[in-house]
């Protein structure tokens, strides 16, 4: 290169240097990491290690390479068919993963665990993953505690958000404190669908985190243990945000309640909450701290051997939430006790003006049912047990020739919600939708 060309090159380099270091430009942005495309085709940032100077991305890449090597080795140890993310883990006697405990150890956020039919004993687990689905496939798998428990609390302890448990049966949980649950749900959002809880000291027991939501659908609870000790509730929700129970069956309690809810809002819709012959539950349905309670389209009944004359109790332990109201519409309430009471509202322990609506309920037996406090009390009809059809040994439905058929007036709206039932309970569990526009009868079964 000639001397003239060298001078031009040096001059150009000096110009670039002066521009790059000029005070009139903003400072260079901090380097956050390396942008790359992952195995799923999405862009991701590989962050620099804390303390690495800007531009030292090689250390981050080296760290990532080591991490990927470790993940590759872990992947080789996983059962066949388990992808890196959103995997499905299959558990069964003939599968490479044979125990639920092993599946819990392998599971990550977002995975699905499928459990083959069979009996699984001593499979106590603490679940900490998020966005997890655990599902029994085929005939419902049965989980038997057999003396095992997680943290001395339950067969399963769930303490994370967005989890779904489907088509599983929990049996026989016992713990030293006397309140061993099939599922102890501590925080988050849990859906329990088509599950069963039998012979547990508690079926489902929640913690008291104020943002927790529990939804139960098409499930069975029963056979409370009869040993001395704690009260054995079939479902017990603490001071959580919301409890929803729909299309489920509760029976054969003992001294504890069939459903007990301290939730800020409880929706109890289209369930069969009947203690049954020989049952000795206390309340069939209790809201000890009031709250906003929607009780629509349920069959609720106590047996002649009940441990408490009240079917439904509201506010027995006083106010906890600022908003308190009970909306009781289109339920069939069966009183098998000679001195029973269909509803007991503890107004002396609740804020003045707490509303109670009782609309189009069918009252079966000889209990007392009188207006209690402000609200609406319309269309509630009292009948003898002999006035109902016989369904599986229990009398729940009005016969077609009953003069009460189709005579209920529309229950109306409150708080922007229509109290008209949209479905009814269907044996053995679940619901059937009601025909739109069909004239309503008092009670749960149309």
60 domain-assigned: no
Sequence-distant (6+) residues with CB within 8 A of 309 are: 302, 337, 339, 340, 341, 367
**pLDDT tier for residue 122 given thresholds of 50, 70 and 90:** very high
Query: Which pLDDT score is estimated for 288?
Result: 98
Cα–Cα distance, 251 to 235 (Å, whole number): 11
Q: Find the mean pLDDT for residues 174-202.
A: 96
- Out of 20-24, 35-39, 139-143, the most confident range is 139-143
233 domain-assigned: yes
Residue 77, CB half-sphere, CA atoms under 13 Å: how many? 9
8's enclosing H/E stretch is helix 3-20
55 domain-assigned: no
299 domain-assigned: yes
Name the token pair of 315.
């506010």
356 domain-assigned: yes
Higher pLDDT, 16 or 130: 130
Q: Average pLDDT, whole number, for the chain?
A: 83
Q: Find the mean pLDDT for residues 285-314.
A: 93
Q: How many independent structural domains does the chain possess?
A: 1
Cα–Cα distance, 382 to 440 (Å, whole number): 16
Asked if omega into 428 is within 30° of 0 (cis), the reply is yes
213 domain-assigned: yes
Please give the backbone phi and psi of residue 254, each rounded to the nearest 5 degrees, phi first: -150, 105
User: Which strands, in side-by-side order, build the sheet including 341-345?
Assistant: 125-127, 154-158, 181-185, 202-206, 235-237, 259-261, 285-287, 310-314, 341-345
**pLDDT tier for residue 270 given thresholds of 50, 70 and 90:** very high
Higher pLDDT, 137 or 34: 137
**pLDDT tier for residue 400 given thresholds of 50, 70 and 90:** confident
Give residue-wise pLDDT tens across range 231-253: 899 999 999 999 999 999 999 99
Q: Could you tell me the residue range of the domain that residue 346 belongs to?
A: 208-433
Give residue-wise pLDDT tens across range 32-82: 444 444 444 455 555 544 433 333 333 333 333 333 333 333 333 344 334
Name the token pair of 269.
């819709």
**pLDDT tier for residue 18 given thresholds of 50, 70 and 90:** very low
336 domain-assigned: yes
Check pLDDT > 90 for residue 6. Answer: no
Check pLDDT > 90 for residue 218. Answer: yes
Q: Find the mean pLDDT for residues 358-368.
A: 89
Query: Which pLDDT score is estimated for 249?
Result: 97
Is 140 in contact with 171 (CB distance < 8 Å)? no
Question: Which among 345, 344, 365, 367 is positioned nearest to 354, based on CA atoms?
Answer: 345
284 domain-assigned: yes
- pTM exceeding the 0.85 threshold for the entire prediction: no
């Amino acid at each position: 290169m000639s001397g003239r060309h060298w001078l031009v090159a040096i001059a150009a380099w000096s110009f670039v240097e002066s521009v790059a270091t000029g005070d009139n430009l903003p400072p260079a942005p901090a380097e956050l990491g390396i942008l790359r495309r992952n195995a799923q085709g999405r862009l991701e940032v590989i962050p620099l290690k804390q303390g690495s100077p800007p531009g030292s991305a090689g250390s981050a890449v080296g760290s990532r390479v080591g991490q990927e090597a470790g993940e590759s080795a872990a992947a080789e140890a996983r059962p066949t068919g388990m992808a890196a993310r959103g995997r499905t883990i299959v558990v069964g006697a003939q599968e490479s993963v044979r125990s639920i405990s092993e599946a819990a150890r392998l599971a990550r956020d977002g995975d699905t665990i499928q459990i083959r039919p069979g009996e699984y004993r001593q499979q106590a687990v603490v679940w900490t993953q998020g966005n997890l689905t655990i599902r029994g496939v085929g005939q419902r798998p049965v989980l038997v505690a057999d003396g095992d428990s997680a943290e001395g609390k339950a067969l399963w302890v769930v303490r994370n958000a967005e989890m779904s448990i489907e088509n599983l049966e929990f049996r026989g949980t016992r713990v030293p404190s006397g309140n061993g649950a099939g599922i102890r749900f501590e925080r988050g959002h849990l859906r329990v669908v088509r599950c069963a809880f039998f012979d547990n000291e508690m079926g489902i027991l929640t913690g008291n985190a104020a943002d927790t939501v529990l939804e139960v659908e098409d499930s069975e609870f029963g056979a409370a243990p009869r040993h001395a000790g704690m009260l054995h509730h079939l479902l017990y929700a603490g001071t959580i945000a919301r409890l929803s129970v729909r299309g489920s069956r509760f029976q054969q309690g003992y001294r504890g309640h069939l459903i007990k809810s301290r939730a800020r809002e409880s929706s109890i819709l289209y369930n069969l909450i009947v203690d049954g012959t020989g049952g000795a539950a206390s309340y069939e349905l209790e809201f000890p701290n009031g709250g906003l309670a929607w009780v629509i389209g349920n069959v609720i009944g106590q047996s002649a051997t009940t441990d408490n004359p009240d079917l439904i109790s509201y506010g027995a332990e006083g106010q906890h939430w600022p908003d308190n109201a009970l909306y009781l519409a289109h339920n069939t309430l069966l009183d098998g006790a000679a001195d029973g009471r269909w509803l007991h509202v503890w107004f002396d322990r609740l804020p003045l003006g707490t509303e109670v609506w009782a609309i189009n309920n069918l009252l079966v037996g000889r209990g007392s049912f009188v207006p209690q406090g402000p609200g609406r009390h319309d269309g509630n009809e009292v009948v003898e047990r002999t006035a109902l059809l016989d369904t599986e040994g229990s009398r729940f439905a009005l016969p077609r020739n009953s003069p009460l058929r189709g005579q209920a007036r529309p229950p109306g709206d409150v708080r922007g919600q229509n109290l008209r039932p949209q479905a009814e309970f269907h044996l053995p569990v679940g619901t059937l939708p009601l025909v739109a526009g069909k004239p309503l009868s008092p009670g749960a079964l149309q």
